[in-house]
Structure 1
Amino acid sequence: MLPNQTIQKLIQEIKRISGFDCSIWNEKAECLAMTNVKARPRQADVEELIQQYNSQGKEESTGEESLFLLENAEHFYVLAVAGTDDKAVMAGRFGLSHLESLASMNRNKMDKNRFIQSLLLDNLLLVDIYNQAKRLKIPVLQRRVVFLVEPKNADDNLVLETLKGLFSIGIKDFATSVEERHIILVKALEPTEDYEDIQHMADVIVDTLGMEAMVGVRVSYGTIVEELKDVSRSYKEADMAMEVGRIFYSQRRVLSYRVLGIGRLIHQLPASLCEMFLDEVFEGNAMESFEEEELAAVYTFFENNLNISETARKLYVHRNTLVYRLEKIQKKTGLDVRVFEDAMTFKIALMVEKHMRAMKEKES
């Protein structure tokens, strides 16, 4: 079904050119848009034309007004023109031709959207990918990358419209959604564009949506693929980058699958190994006994490269107070985080614990 805005614009254009009021109706004989409420035809006349089309194939009728029917895919449209003379009939036929073009373009757009969604979800055979891409005139051999945009409490349509303004959506690039709260952008790349350019694109998406649409977003992206059939791989990589970032790098607004650090490894560990490691490091559930100020101290300590003086300055505490808090952690775990090896073990354990918590939340 065509958007109401498109239908309203069409009938206003018909009236501007021909001077005749008109309206458009759907297959249920419901009026979708009109130029003048007083000039709309009787609903019964529209219903009668639809019945005659179904039984006799009749596409036009003239009574108190001129009616023209268009069947497009699973939808019917009836264009009603407030007039019965030759000029009104000509205006109606020209209007119907324009309506048919718009409906065909919209159907082609919807076909592309469904194709891209199926492609991303790996729901197509290889032969179907090539056949449908040829029919929809989508290049098969084209460098592409997939971006995943996650808005915070925002309407997906607002994000989509902003992306359309940034990129040539529907021509070379495609934006769609296959799950709630995620917009997927399949971006075509020039031969010279590399990951530095892709990072810049992601930054532009975050900044533009933040400033123009007032929407806070996180953006992730996969690796560059050379063929259309591999787009789903880039999407899965972007999806994994978003999930890893949500667990381990909550402060980052842009996440690259190629730069996930140790978070990538931990994310792929099975639950049994994670539990075994946590039991080894935090024997007796020491993680649950940590106080907030102790965790704040150790996180800041890691951020400042195990520098006692700089960490104390950032926390606005005395050096001895910081040492006391770190020693409390040592008593609970047996790990002295002032020593590099113990610090590394403790940091990995904290990340594994976050991963376990995320898995439990996902299961519940």
Structure 2
Amino acid sequence: MLKNLISLYTNSILYTEHPKHTSDQFYIFFDGSQKNWLAIPKSNLTEKELNLLQVLYEQVKIPSKPLTTLSRKWHDFLLLNGPMPSLSTDSNFRFIQFHIKGLGVDPTEIEPAIKGFFSDEVQIIWEDEHNGIVIEERRQLSLTESELTSMADTLESDFYVKISFYFGKIYPYSSHLRTHFVQEKEYFEFAKENLERTNILTFEKIFPAFVAFNLPEYMKEKIKMELSSVFSEDPELYTTIKVFLENNLNASLTAKKLYIHRNTLQYRIDKFIDKTGVQLKDFYGAFTVFLACLLFEQRK
């Protein structure tokens, strides 16, 4: 099956829907039995491998989306490990990755809408119809996290899609730019697979869950034995405690978000403390309980 080839060919992309556009640097193969399309970088295939794949699968021709010269350089650098774009060495850059979930997504309509929110010129490159990268050169302060949230809400309302952004860090122009991008891409892919949906994602929002997911099994069992079993007995308690911790132990804000009275919230918090013996207003207690919440969420 085509999906088994992803591990063999670096930077290949699997589609579950017919792609409308792709880079001319890829060969596209179609698996009729699984209804999958796989884009493999041309540079990764020898002539012999290409001939074999053409026998096993249908090779399809898909029009490539035209890129500007600079966008093409960024595309090849980030996605195909090509040479770095020649830019000012005193510039800073930020990568804002996005994922669009919905039917009939048209990049040619959404791209201008995204660019319209930025005061400076940005480059946008697409991996496929649902995933892309905004490349922002930082000459001045641009979108904050709250403004990016507003942009996501606007795009969802205008195009009837669900969209999430990974808000990358700011990096100086250097040979390490691609390494930073690849690491951020790993975090974003993890979040799409494992976290409850949210519009805006950052390193600090993802990394605790990333750590929890990669803990050794014996560590996960210890936390389950100490804390997570309480959540299994009372899932409502899990929701309450997690929202309380995510809102910096602010009782008023937590009660408002959960649509409950503050007295009800305090009752549930006291109930959790009585059952576990762990204080939430202590940093170490809050950290440990939040880790337990993340592990319980993964098990769900």
TM-score bin (small chain):
0.5 to 0.7
Question: What's the offset of the Cα at 1:152?
Answer: 2.8
Question: Which residue in the other structure is 1:162 paired with?
Answer: 113
Question: What's the offset of the Cα at 1:174?
Answer: 2.0
Question: What's the offset of the Cα at 1:175?
Answer: 1.2
Rate the CA distance shift 1:288–1:305 in 2: closer, same or farther, 3 A: closer
Structure 1: stretches of 5+ with no match in the other structure: 1-105, 359-364
Q: Does 1:152 align with 2:71?
A: no
Deviations 1:276-297 (A, max 9, x none): 3332222297267333323233
Question: What's the offset of the Cα at 1:183?
Answer: 1.5
Question: Which residue in the other structure is 2:220 paired with?
Answer: 278
SS at match of 2:249: coil
Structure 2: stretches of 5+ with no match in the other structure: 1-63
Question: Which residue in the other structure is 2:59 paired with?
Answer: none
Question: What's the offset of the Cα at 1:148?
Answer: 0.9
SS at match of 1:109: coil
Distance 2:143 2:269 in 1: 44
Deviations 1:285-311 (A, max 9, x none): 726733332323333544472759x85
Rate the CA distance shift 1:119–1:268 in 2: closer, same or farther, 3 A: farther
Distance 1:199 1:313 in 2: 20
CA contact (8 A) 2:98 2:163 kept: yes
Query: Which one of the candidate residues 64, 77, 87 is aligned to 1:139?
Result: 87
Question: Which residue in the other structure is 1:299 paired with?
Answer: 242
Following superposition, which runs of at least 4 residues in structure 1 exceed 6 angstroms of deviation?
Answer: none
Distance 2:256 2:143 in 1: 39
Question: Which residue in the other structure is 2:288 paired with?
Answer: 345
Rate the CA distance shift 1:297–1:223 in 2: closer, same or farther, 3 A: closer
CA contact (8 A) 1:248 1:351 kept: no
Distance 1:116 1:320 in 2: 53
Q: Does 1:173 align with 2:122?
A: yes
Query: Which one of the candidate residues 169, 191, 205 is aligned to 1:223?
Result: 169
Q: Does 1:118 align with 2:76?
A: yes
Distance 2:77 2:211 in 1: 25
Q: In angstroms, what is the RMSD of aligned CA positions? A: 4.5
CA contact (8 A) 1:143 1:227 kept: yes
CA contact (8 A) 1:335 1:343 kept: no
Distance 2:285 2:70 in 1: 54
SS at match of 2:87: coil
Give the AA of the match of 2:235.
E
CA contact (8 A) 2:99 2:165 kept: yes
Distance 2:113 2:251 in 1: 44
Question: What's the offset of the Cα at 1:239?
Answer: 2.7
Rate the CA distance shift 1:165–1:301 in 2: closer, same or farther, 3 A: closer
Q: Does 1:109 align with 2:51?
A: no
Give the AA of the match of 1:278.
K
Q: Does 1:182 align with 2:159?
A: no
Normalized against structure 1, the TM-score is what?
A: 0.48
Distance 2:176 2:280 in 1: 46
Rate the CA distance shift 1:339–1:328 in 2: closer, same or farther, 3 A: same
Question: What's the offset of the Cα at 1:221?
Answer: 2.5
Higher relative contact order (CA 8 A, sep 6+): 2
Question: What's the offset of the Cα at 1:233?
Answer: 3.8
**Larger Rg over CA atoms:** 1
Distance 1:182 1:306 in 2: 35
Distance 2:265 2:150 in 1: 43
Question: What's the offset of the Cα at 1:113?
Answer: 4.7
Distance 2:163 2:135 in 1: 17
Question: What's the offset of the Cα at 1:348?
Answer: 1.6
CA contact (8 A) 1:221 1:256 kept: yes
Question: What's the offset of the Cα at 1:177?
Answer: 1.7
SS at match of 1:219: strand
SS at match of 1:209: helix
Query: How many residue pairs are counted as aligned between the two chains?
Result: 230
SS at match of 1:150: strand
Distance 1:280 1:212 in 2: 47
Rate the CA distance shift 1:230–1:197 in 2: closer, same or farther, 3 A: farther
